[in-house]
Amino acid sequence: MTNSLRVALGLLGFSIFGLVVSDQQVYTRLSYLWGLLIVGSWLWSQLILRGITFKRTPNMKRGQIGEIFSEIFELYNHQRFPRLWLELKDHSPLPGSQGSRVYVMMGGNQGRSNMGRTRLVKRGAFPLGPTTLKGADPFGLFPVSREFPDTDHLLVFPKLVDIERFPGPPGMLPGGEALRRRTHQITPNASNIREYATGDSLSRIHWKSTARRDTLMVKEFELDPMAEIWIFVDGEKDAQAGKPYTPKASVEGIYSQGEEKFQLAPETEEYTATIAASVARYFIKNGREVGLAINNYTSKVLSPDKTGRQLDKILEAMALLRSEGVVPFSAMLTNQCRHLSRGSTVILVTPSVQHDITLAVDQITRLGLRPIVVLINAESFGGDPGTDILAKSISHFGVPVGVISYQDDIGAMLSMIGTQN
């Protein structure tokens, strides 16, 4: 019961009491007046939301961090009866959702619409709704509401960055075995020169080096098309770090700021998701088979594939990434990598500063796998120091290592990995 209705009922009761006590005509008229007001307001409230339809139309159902998301909210009055005011309340958990609005004086057989725009600042799956439509009689005695359930969802991927180059799996196998495994997809990019082995194709002979060394030398190709790419994502809760952060979903000044100036949240988890998703896109676009493993609260493993659907699966996994794992990242690496094919490339993405990572990298190398490590500098996010020491320790094994800190150009830093090794 609203305060307005309490007041109206009190006035009605007072008028009736005055009529009973004094039998004056004025109290009779007041009783009729308040009674008609209450009944009329109730009848009005029963009609206010009838014939009203609602529709919300998003401009996308999948987006990524930093993009602008917009929705059109439409109300239409299909009856002749005008509406003095209607309030639309959007309950979507999407940060910065701009659907709530008050509409005044909507005539019969008329519609109103508005557009809500917000910048996507948080990964995850967000229902677009529910939405509540509210109305009332002119005196506010009987407010009524109607809820429209959510019918669409928005999936927000991590921000993707462009990578110019990234270390790929080399042709590790000697002689004819390497050729048989490469098949017709062999690439022309040579990364090293070695001595000729029985079974090597004559087309791979590097004649300048052969003449200089007086022995047959052949080219080793940068990529082995049969080798799988595995991305291991550290979802261990204790390894994460982050600074206090308030997402700014407002689109005010967005055109003056420009997309380039958008900064990711100062959280290692956010950088982990962006790095893993961007590296996966890089290799899948280049025709590589990519697999994914995450040590979250439940281990998630996606078998290697190179189709567009595989990229969608990886992006979805990164959109929903929540670092709540309790199993150490090094333990997952030890358990999972022993099942991988020799020659596979294993890309580790972690903010951990634990020495166990070095031991795991050594073991991965001994298994005939090729590790590449992307360390997220936890100290730059307010976490523990030790990333630089860990990077030096890993590089002693000849393993490509990259260190990415808060506010670094992620694409540029990833493109530099392996160029100085």
Model pLDDT for residues 358-412, shown as the tens digit of each residue: 999 999 998 889 999 999 999 999 999 999 999 999 999 899 999 999 999 999 9
DSSP string across 76-106: EE-SSS-EEEEEEEE---STT----EEEEEE
Give the closest residue to 168 by CA, choosing from 273, 278, 272, 288: 288
pTM (2 d.p.): 0.79
Q: Tell me the CATH class for 229-416.
A: alpha beta
Task: State the average pLDDT over residues 154-167.
Answer: 94
Residue 41, class by beta-carbon neighbours within 10 Å (0-12 exposed, 13-18 middle, 19+ buried)?
A: buried
**Conformational region of residue 362, where left means phi above 0, alpha means psi within -120 to 50, and beta covers everything else:** alpha
pLDDT at residue 177 in the model: 41
Q: What is the CB-side half-sphere exposure of residue 35 using CA atoms within 13 A?
A: 9
CA distance 258 to 177: 51
- Write out the H or E segment, with its range, that includes residue 33: helix 25-47
Local structure of 309: helix, strand or coil: helix
CB atoms within 10 A of CB 100: 16
Q: Pick the more confident residue, 233 or 30.
A: 233
Domain-by-domain residue ranges, the chain? 3-45, 52-156, 175-221, 229-416
Rounded Cα gap, residues 342 and 228, in angstroms? 9
* Tokens linked to 386: 């030790």
What is the biggest distance separating any 2 CA atoms in the chain, rounded to whole angstroms? 128
CATH code at 52-156: 2.60.40.10
Residue 421 clears pLDDT 60, i.e. is over it: no
- HSE (CB half, 13 Å, CA atoms) of 62? 8
Average pLDDT over every residue of 256-266: 66
Is the confidence at residue 211, as pLDDT, over 50?
yes
Q: What's the pLDDT tens digit per position in 63-91?
A: 999 999 999 999 999 998 888 889 999 99
In the block, tokens 């993707």 appear at: 160
pLDDT, average across residues 331-359: 93
In Å, how far are 72, 116, 417 from 130, measured between CA atoms?
15, 15, 46
Above pLDDT 90, what percent of the chain?
A: 53
402, 376 contact by CB (below 8 A): no
Average pLDDT score over the chain? 85
pLDDT of residue 170: 52
